Each structure stands twice: as C-alpha cells, then as structure tokens.
Chains A and B, each alone.
Chain A
Amino acid sequence: MLKVIAFNRLSQTAYLCLGLLALILLPWLVGFTGGNYWVRVLDFALLYIVLALGLNVVVGFAGLLDLGYIAFYALGAYSFALLASPHLPQQFESVAAVFPEGMHFSPWMVAVFSIILAALFGIILGLPTLQLRGDYLAIVTLGFGEIIRIFMNNLDRPLNLTNGPKGITAIDPIQFLGISFAKPLDLGFVQIPGLYLVFYLFLLLAIAVAIICTHLQNSRIGRAWVAIREDEIAAKAMGINTRNMKLLAFAIGASFAGVAGVLFSAFQGFVSPESFTLWESIVILAMVVLGGIGHIPGVILGAVVLAVFPEVLRAIVQPLQNVIFGHVLIDAEVIRQLIYGLALILIMLYRPGGIWQKSGTK
C-alpha cells in the first residue's frame, strides 16, 4: 500500500517535471515552426489565463456576474503607461522638473501599486452593488467598465492625462534584474529572444495565479464564496459576512487584472482605450464559462482555446479557400467571426458546463 502511494507521488512529480520541461521548450518549438508571430500569440494566451482566472474568482466562485472586468486591466495598463513613458513629463513641466531623466518607474513597483489600485476600484464597484445579483449586477458592472474606458478616451482635455484615443506610446519595456525583455538575452551558448523571455515571465505569473486560486478555493474563504453563490441567505445563516466576502472576491479578481494590465502595457509598449472595450470583457467571460466555470483547469483551458483559436482561424481560412475554390470567396475576417461564433454556440449546446467541468457536476 505504502509503495503504491510512494509510486504515485513519484509519477506525479515525474509528470510535473515533464510538463514543466514541455512548457519551457514550447516557445522554441512554436518559434521554430511558426515564427515569432505565434510566440506572441502564446504570450497573450498566458495573459488571458491570468485574466480569466481573476474573473473566475468573481463569477465562478462567488457567482457575481461581472461584465466590466476589463476596466481593472485598463487601470493596470494605464498606471504603467503613465508612470513609465515620456507622456506626463512632456505634457506637464512640473512633472518634468521632478523627473529630469524622464519617468521610469519599475514595472514591479507599478505592479504592486496596481494591485492596490485595482483592488480599491474592485471594492468601489462592489460596494454599491452588494444587493444586486445576476442580470442587474451585470448591467451595473457593464456600465462601470464603459465609464473607465470613456474616461481614458476623453481625459486628453482640458489636461492631457491619457492622450485620449491616440493612446500612450514609448512605454518602457519589462526589465528584470537589469535584463531588458525587449532584446535577446545572450547566455553565451544560446540567445534567448525577448519574446521567449516574456513567455517565461508570463508563465511564472500564470502559474502563481493558478496556485493562489487553487489555495483560495480549497480554503475557508473559497468555501464561503461558493456558499454565497449557492444560497446567500443560508451563507449568512452560517455566520458568513457576505458583504466582506463579496468585496474580497471583487478585490482579488481585480488585482489579478491590475498586474496583467501592467505587464500588457510594458509588453506592448503602447496602450489605447481600444484595447479595453466591452468586447474584451465578454471574451474573458466566454473563456471562463466555456472552459468550465468555477473549475480552475477548465478556465485555463478555456483561456488558451479562445486566445489561440481565432489566430489559428486567421491563419488557415484564407489558404484553405484558395485550395478549395481556387480563389478567396469570403473575406477571411468575416468567416473567422462566423466560425468563432458557431464554435461558441456548439460548445454551449453540447457541453453546457464547459469543456472541462468539475467531475461530478452535471
């Protein structure tokens, strides 16, 4: 008996090491066969995992339908864009006077700041909506998301804070221990391209967030969230302070998006309000629901599938038409949206609980 357990442990560790090795080799494999474009797609898929896991805390665990989640991502992204780009010093002489060499806050400092800022805004969103559930909550959160985006879009006058729809450019790249992620890292025997470094960084973040979510789920706090989702009155009768627990869910979910936003803006080097539309909130919600709401591995799978699938379609639709019809019959972008929508409908029809739902649920 003991031997069996020991063996299981061993094989578990072996699988874990193999999986980790595969993930480390993944960007090389993808970069070699598909080029940098696909490594970039992978980088974004990892960011989406972080976002989907964060939204899953709010929607999946606590059962609070949030359609404005992208706003917290925007807060993180704009925090870094403003604190690590020439924009503010250029606009305001007083800022330029304080930072004669330009504003170059480290992304890690801004990440900590964004966690606090996003969590605070999560609570600000949560407080007036404590009594709301379902559709009503969805409408309010939707409005919140749009307010943040419209602010970003219009805060270019009278004071040019966000540069409006043109967005903020020349944002500092990610740096870690003096290594810039914008250029390849030369290890002597091998050169690691910056995109691959970003992949590893985002991978670390995604793994950390997944572990945090798992630990929370299997704790007194995670159980309280699920209890609120299942029956709020009964949860209160168990002595759960439902107000604090809901605010906590909003704050934690938001803080993940805040960190992801900082890394997004450092990775892109550019942010504009266009990246934070309602459509983005819906895509992230679709990742959560499609993957398996409340189930962490399912949510991760959903994020990967929905981040990579549209790119795959983009790549194959046009050549495929050329092969079949000899020429391009329907515009690639149109057919891509069509297939994407159809896939969502089919999955929800045949797997209403998500692609990878919790075992034992129907």
Chain B
Amino acid sequence: MSDHLLLDVANVSKRFGGVQALDSVGLQVPYGSIVGLIGPNGAGKTTFFNVITGLYPADSGIFLFDGTSYFPESVSEVTKSGLARTFQNIRLFGEMTVLENVMVGCHCRSKTGVLGAIFRLPASKREEQSIREKSLELLAYVGLTEFANMQARNLSYGHQRRLEIARALATEPKLLALDEPAAGMNATEKLELRELLLRIRADGKTILLIEHDVSLVMGICDGLTVLDYGKVIASGKPADVRVHPEVIRAYLGQGAV
C-alpha cells in the first residue's frame, strides 16, 4: 500500500436483499486532494458513503484510513478517527441555532463530563469558551457569521449546505466526505461552493465528493471514480475519465458511443 493515500478501500461489497448495491468497489484518496465519486442515479454512491462511514455494515471489504486499517461499524468512532461527512438530504439539527449546530460538531474533540458540566468547573468553562470561539471561527470560514443565532431550519437551502460543511469541519476531520453538496444550488451558490472547497483543500484537508454537477466535478477534482450499478467502471484523471467509453455509455446511453 502506498503511503501517500489517506483513504484506501478495496473490494467493498454490500447487498440489500436481491440488489448488489456495491460490487467489489475500490477507491483511493491521496492526501491533500479532492477526489470525486460520480455516477448515474442509483449507482451506489451514497451507499458507498454510508458503508465507509459505518452507517451500513459492509458485507466485505478492506479499509485503510490514514495508514491504519479499520472496519467501519460505528459512525461515531469513524468520525472520531477523522472522517467526517455531510448528507445528501440535509440533516441539520433544525431546532438548534446555527452556532449550536457547529458547537455540536465539536463534541468529539471535547471531553467535559457530567460533573464538569453540572458544577461548571474551571476546565469545563474554558473548554466551553474555546468551543464557542472555534465554532464562530468556522461560521466565519464558511460565511455564515451573520446567521449565528438563527434557527438552523430557517436558513436558506444553500446556507444549510454550508452549515453542514462547517459542522463537519468542527469534528476536525482529515477527510471531509461531502454527499452532493451542490444539489439544489443556483449558479452563484455553486461558484461560492467551489471556492469554499478549494479553500478547504488549500488549508490542508482532503475531500471526497459525490456530485452530479459535472462542470463542478471536472473543474476541481484531482481524481475521479465512476460508479455504475454498484461497480467501478472508470477511475483516473478527470480528463481521461471524461472520454472513457464506459462512462459515456453510462451517462448518455448505448447509442452515444
């Protein structure tokens, strides 16, 4: 195994009843890169995300993250080990404020216990203060400072997507896995998102991206993996993948080749 890979998974299979959702899928994400996972609807992209983050148990597979092998069974443990994700159908904590949403993200990097919280011990107070500051910084980072005290569910769609990213960043991930972050965004919002993603990479994080918007994916990804019917049909540089006959067939149909 090469040591420049942050995430290296191979032979991941997952079956739901009669449907082979994932069939020996492999994916490599080098440190400091943006890797795109694309494919037609129902190709198994989100299932793949759910498997590597521990939401669905895999039937089989070899998983290597940051040089250590892991088997994703517990979502919270995967997050703690440094792999944070967002959701295709936005899953914010609607009743909480925007700031509180990000503060929840700091949970796994803080350790105040019951007694510390009840008695407001000095260490807990300090930690609470630093959680607040860090969360405000993250809100500024994604450009949501002015909405800090608004209820999350009252945010506009594009802002909700940004908040999910800020919340995931609060868990201090090495790998940020984004499930269709541009879905439902207009052209301006997409442009802003693109800038945000490039900034996140420039700040040393690695990104794994599921996306439908081909121009966005082609524009920023260093590598692409294409799924169709649960199988990897192509993988490589965006320019190579774009002209791969299997990819064209999957996206445009048999006659287009």
Contacts and interface: CB of A to CB of B under 8 A. Distances in A.
Contacts of B104: 223-224, 227, 235, 238, 240
B129 interface: no
B136 to A, nearest CB: 15
Contacts of B120: 215
Contacts of B95: 226, 229-230, 361
Most buried by B among A219, A220, A235, A360: A220
Contact of B96 (A215, A227, A233, A239): A227
Contacts of A238: 76, 79, 104-105, 107-108, 167, 170-171
Contacts of A175: none
Question: Do most interface residues of chain A lie in helix, strand or loop, or is the interface mixed?
Answer: helix
Q: At the interface, is chain B mostly helix, strand, loop or mixed? A: helix
B55 A223 contact: no
A58 B75 CA distance: 23
Contacts of B167: 238
Contacts of A220: 103, 106-107, 110, 112, 117, 127-128, 131
Given A215-B118, A237-B53, A241-B76, A223 B87 contact: no
Nearest to B151: A360
Chain B contact patch, size range: 35 or more
Contact of B124 (A219, A224, A235): A219
Contacts of A74: none
A133 interface: no
B161 interface: no
Given A231-B91, A361-B95, A239 B79 contact: yes
A240 B108 contact: yes
Contacts of B151: 360-361
Contacts of A361: 95, 151
B233 to A, nearest CB: 29
A214 to B, nearest CB: 10
A281 B91 CA distance: 33
A233 B55 contact: yes
A237 B107 CA distance: 11
Interface of A: 212, 215-216, 219-224, 226-227, 229-231, 233-242, 248, 252, 360-361
25 contacts: A215-B117, A219-B116, A220-B106, A220-B112, A220-B127, A220-B128, A221-B112, A221-B117, A224-B107, A226-B96, A227-B107, A231-B91, A231-B94, A233-B91, A234-B87, A234-B92, A234-B93, A236-B79, A237-B76, A238-B79, A239-B76, A240-B104, A240-B107, A242-B76, A248-B114
